[in-house]
Amino acid sequence: MNLQSPQKHKYDDNPLFDRVIFAYGFRPFFILSAGYAAFTVLTWAGFWYGLVSLPDSVSVVQWHAHEMIYGFVAASLAGFLLTAVPDLTADPNLKNPGGTKYKHIMGRKLALISAVWIAGRLAMLLAGVLPLWLVGVINAAFLPLLMYWTVPDLWRERQKRHRSFIYLQLALWLIQIVIYLGWMGIPLPDYWPYDLSMQALNASLHVFLIGISVVVTRVSMVLVPLALEEQGDDESVFRPIPPRRNLAAATLMIFALADFFIPENPVTGWIALAAAAAQLDRLSDWHVGRVLLKPYMLVIYLTHVWMAIGLAGIGIHDLSGWDYFAAARHALALGSASLAVLAVCVIAGIEHTGREMVISKSVIVSVVLINVSAALRVFVPVLLPDYYQHMAIGISSLTWAAAFAVFLVSFWGILTKPRPDGKPG
């Protein structure tokens, strides 16, 4: 990496927004995602132990799930897309005020979409005071704005495989609307006996898992050869098998549909087990040389391990009535989704600030803490139920919040200071 004297690049005509923090989408949104992750989980733990109160206009469980998905996860998704889409759809004939050849959102536009996300979080905290329709309108404004700035380029891109990011955003937004309709008490037909909002929240998590599957496919194409090169392994060859990853994604999609329309049904249970098996089968793609010794590859690997554990748990529950359904869901959320978010924040944060792909000890600490948190939340209620409510939930919340606090502290300089190579972005 070539170190150069810091240069002043222009990102906006207004000095208020002409700052490094608004130079690229990953910068503000990775900070917001990690910061809110720690805040919202500690808030939830405080509520669980009677230390704080939460809005009672909606189910507190659904409030918690909503903020994890449409707060924490959505911020990381925005940071990823606002960073990746300009690269995927780069036009060499375009040149923005920052001096790059990529047409990306920065300056006041980036500040605006960040403010819309923050407004959504404040609205959810005030859900007991504000009317629910207003809470829904404020929150539902974020994804359309994100789509407004990402979908046109994705749609024009010659490689249609990138359009999967369009469908991902659209699905998450439509599901979000369903959540708010459920909260506002929309009349439901007699043949629909389920809690509409809870089903939609579960579906939003599953859609995000499908997104993880898509992103991992793109990322592994770069990271596995990089790991082999760093290890000086000229003999091993990375040959991913498309049907393997397609099966993993397809079974996830089928499971998401089945779990929404016929939850806790034996048919859904068998589909969940098939999806779990497909995720484990996909791991074989990465059994190449010694690539799993690289921390960034191990995190991606563990993301799919936790996904398989969660899907298998749901499958067992649906087939047998196993009583630890929430534990299985948390394997998907605290384990798989959280590791995926951390991986994206670390890898994109390093790559897009011109640094070498070297994983620091602090990142390894965060990875360990997330895995400890997920293990406590998933396995303690099964193996040591007497210690679950009074101990495991608290420790799990603290370790999970600490994981993202450690990331935020260690990456603060990376995300808020100019690139060391002197380039814009």
Distance CA 22, CA 424 (A): 11
Distance CA 363, CA 351 (A): 15
Which of 358, 246, 352, 386 is CA-nearest to residue 296?
Answer: 358
Distance CA 71, CA 54 (A): 16
pLDDT at 424: 67
pLDDT at 201: 97
What percent of the chain has pLDDT above 70? 91
Helix intervals (H) in 126-241: 132-140, 142-156, 164-183, 196-230
**Which pLDDT band, with edges at 50, 70 and 90, does 261 fall under?**
very high
Does 268 or 7 have the greater pLDDT score? 268
Amino acid making up residue 344: V
Helix intervals (H) in 231-321: 242-261, 266-282, 295-320
pLDDT at 101: 43
Neighbouring C-beta atoms of residue 8, cutoff 10 Å: 9
Of 85-89, 117-121, 209-213, give the lowest mean pLDDT range: 85-89
SS3 55: coil
**Which pLDDT band, with edges at 50, 70 and 90, does 160 fall under?**
confident
Amino acid making up residue 403: A
Distance CA 319, CA 362 (A): 41
Residue 88 C-beta-side C-alpha neighbours within 13 Å: 25
Distance CA 108, CA 119 (A): 16
364, pLDDT greater than 80: yes
Amino acid making up residue 127: A
pLDDT at 14: 66
Average pLDDT score over the chain: 88
Q: What is the pLDDT of residues 389-401, one digit of tens each?
A: 778 889 999 999 9
Measure CA 21 to chain center.
21
Neighbouring C-beta atoms of residue 282, cutoff 10 Å: 25
Domain boundaries, the chain: 20-416
Q: What is the pLDDT of residues 110-135, one digit of tens each?
A: 999 999 999 999 999 999 899 999 99
Average pLDDT over residues 49-66: 92
pLDDT at 1: 47
Indicate the CATH number of 20-416 among 1.20.210.10, 1.10.580.10, 3.40.190.10, 2.160.10.10: 1.20.210.10
Q: Any idea what DSSP says for residue 424?
A: -
The pTM for the full model equals 0.91
329, pLDDT greater than 50: yes
Distance CA 413, CA 83 (A): 18
262, pLDDT greater than 80: yes
Amino acid making up residue 166: I
